[in-house]
Amino acid sequence: MSNSPQTSGIVSHRLPPEAVAQNFDHYMPAYDAHEARVAADRCYFCYDAPCMTACPTSIDIPLFIRQIATGTPEAAAKTIFAQNIMGGMCARVCPTETLCEEVCVREVAEGKPVEIGRLQRYATDTLMAKGVHPFTRAAETGKKVAVVGAGPAGLSAAHRLALHGHDVTVYERRAKAGGLNEYGIAAYKATDDFAAREVEWLLKIGGITVETDRELGRDFSVASLEADFDAVFLGIGLAGVNALQAPGEDLSGVRNAVDFIAELRQAADPSALPVGRDVVVIGGGMTAVDAAVQSKLLGAQNVTMVYRRTKDKMSASLYEQDHATASGVTILYGASPVQIIGAGAVEAVAFAYDSGETFTLKADQVFKAIGQTLVGEPVPKDGKKLVKRAGKVWAGGDCAAGGEDLTVTAVAEGRDAAEEIHSVLMGAVG
């Protein structure tokens, strides 16, 4: 099969490796020291700052920005890490445009907020580059806690529990720790193997053992963990993927967007990853945007996202939607797939608007990004997700009921669960 960019079908090396490497460089360059000081000087250091209220981890944003402004970025980083130990990754992937920056007084008054996310990245990167850990572990308590899932929620819980002196064992079903940060974030948002480097740095607190390739339901059960540990935290994420429930879903060339993103994140040579010429992504969340944009960066000629509801209902922010269209992605709203067409391999997708009007898009590759689901029922569920506490078992992150599917929210839930576990283990609450 020819590797020419003009050839239809799913092929590798649509673009030269050097072009793909440039495309996947971080899309928002880091501040240098001077740029950070200038950006920090724009902050009003508000009393009862709305940005702090909007942050799911309640970082003292005015304080850390003031610390940057006064030339102490390491102190700023410690302020951040005290609330969000994964502040480095969150600085890269948080939808700050709909959280802290959306309510910034500068945004409200001038339409240009203080760039809180980039300032957070500058501070955390500065401290992490020194290779030291900012916190010291408390004296050992003799208590043991199992954490299932080494994603943002699990790692956040593990770190806070270890900080309090408990011994923590983290079980991860995949070959690497990191969860969504390692396998589910667009490659251009977390370059230079940052997810793995962040895990390595986080574990320097001590007291945490990570066991990979260990899966709940296969290698152990919740009951066995309850018997062997003083408490259990489940941060297992959402491993299942919703089906389109449209004829032709099993055709060659149709795959889950999360698998494509994970494969791309782990690829030694991203340019070698096969991608179609005409790509259709079905869904309206961040996974859909990441799959669509990265298809374009790999050299797909035509990439179209199709979402079943209106633009304002799309879970991906307006900023991310604009980023997708600026990258060459076409977004269509208010249409649902009715049939995937092809003889063995996908050739097109038929859609219908709510009005009943139909249209067809040519496609040699289709990515499904219509949400993920909880696999298995290890503890009682609240609707389709886990209850946050059941006896000796706590849950947090995407798998738990009541939370948003955001890295920063998962970090907050892991941290807060760890604090409750600590209180229970030390006899403060029942």
- Residue 143 — pLDDT band, cuts 50, 70, 90? very high
Structural domain count of the chain: 3
| Cα gap 140→308, rounded to integer Å | 52
| Cα gap 96→55, rounded to integer Å | 9
Contact 397, 403 (CB under 8 A): yes
- Residue 340 — pLDDT band, cuts 50, 70, 90? very high
| Residue 134 belongs to some domain of the structure | no
Burial-class residue 301 by CB neighbours within 10 Å (0-12, 13-18, 19+): middle
Contacts of 186 (CB under 8 A, 6+ apart): 261, 290, 293, 294
Asked whether residue 321 falls in the same domain as residue 291, the answer is yes
4 residue type, one letter: S
Asked whether residue 402 falls in the same domain as residue 256, the answer is no
Cβ count near 57 (within 10 Å):
22
The arithmetic mean of pLDDT across residues 152-166, rounded, is: 98
Q: Which has more pLDDT, 363 or 239? A: 363
Domain housing 230: 144-239+374-425
Asked whether residue 91 falls in the same domain as residue 153, the answer is no
Boundary residue ending a domain (103, 128, 153): 128
Report residue 219 CA to chain centroid gap: 26
Asked whether residue 253 falls in the same domain as residue 305, the answer is yes
| Residue 26 belongs to some domain of the structure | no
| Residue 103 belongs to some domain of the structure | yes
| Residue 10 belongs to some domain of the structure | no
Residue 54 belongs to domain with CATH number = 1.10.1060.10
Q: Which is nearest to 317 in space by CA: 56, 115, 94, 110?
A: 94
239-295 residue pLDDT tens: 888 999 999 999 999 999 999 999 999 999 999 999 999 999 999 999 999 999 999
Quote the pLDDT of residue 7.
37
| Residue 23 belongs to some domain of the structure | no
- Residue 378 — pLDDT band, cuts 50, 70, 90? low
| Residue 170 belongs to some domain of the structure | yes
- Going edge to edge, which strands form the sheet with 358-362? 335-343, 345-353, 358-362
102-129 residue pLDDT tens: 999 999 899 999 999 999 999 999 999 9
Asked whether residue 314 falls in the same domain as residue 351, the answer is yes
- Residue 402 — pLDDT band, cuts 50, 70, 90? low
Quote the pLDDT of residue 6.
37
Asked whether residue 196 falls in the same domain as residue 97, the answer is no
Quote the pLDDT of residue 2.
35
Asked whether residue 221 falls in the same domain as residue 154, the answer is yes
| Residue 1 belongs to some domain of the structure | no
Q: C-alpha distances in angstroms, 260 versus 95, 251, 286, 294? A: 22, 16, 14, 10
Q: C-alpha distances in angstroms, 78 versus 60, 67, 116, 262, 367? A: 11, 10, 16, 31, 40
The arithmetic mean of pLDDT across residues 69-75, rounded, is: 97
The arithmetic mean of pLDDT across residues 74-99, rounded, is: 96
Boundary residue ending a domain (128, 156, 182): 128
CA angle (262 as vertex; 258, 267 as ends), nearest 5: 150
Asked whether residue 209 falls in the same domain as residue 247, the answer is no
Asked whether residue 96 falls in the same domain as residue 108, the answer is yes
196-246 residue pLDDT tens: 999 999 999 999 999 999 999 999 999 999 999 999 999 999 988 899 999
| Cα gap 192→311, rounded to integer Å | 33
Quote the pLDDT of residue 1.
34
- Residue 373 — pLDDT band, cuts 50, 70, 90? confident
| Cα gap 154→235, rounded to integer Å | 5
Q: What sign does the dihedral 137-127-196-294 (CA atoms) show? A: positive
Q: Which is nearest to 203 in space by CA: 252, 131, 286, 270?
A: 131
**Residue 28, pLDDT above cutoff 90:** no
Boundary residue ending a domain (326, 350, 371): 371
| Residue 235 belongs to some domain of the structure | yes
Asked whether residue 43 falls in the same domain as residue 99, the answer is yes
Asked whether residue 417 falls in the same domain as residue 334, the answer is no
Asked whether residue 161 falls in the same domain as residue 213, the answer is yes
284-323 residue pLDDT tens: 999 999 999 999 999 999 999 999 999 999 999 999 999 9
2-17 residue pLDDT tens: 343 333 589 999 999 9
Contacts of 18 (CB under 8 A, 6+ apart): none
Residue 150 belongs to domain with CATH number = 3.50.50.60
Q: What sign does the dihedral 53-57-60-61 (CA atoms) show? A: negative
Q: Residue 89 has which token pair?
A: 């990754």
Quote the pLDDT of residue 429.
54
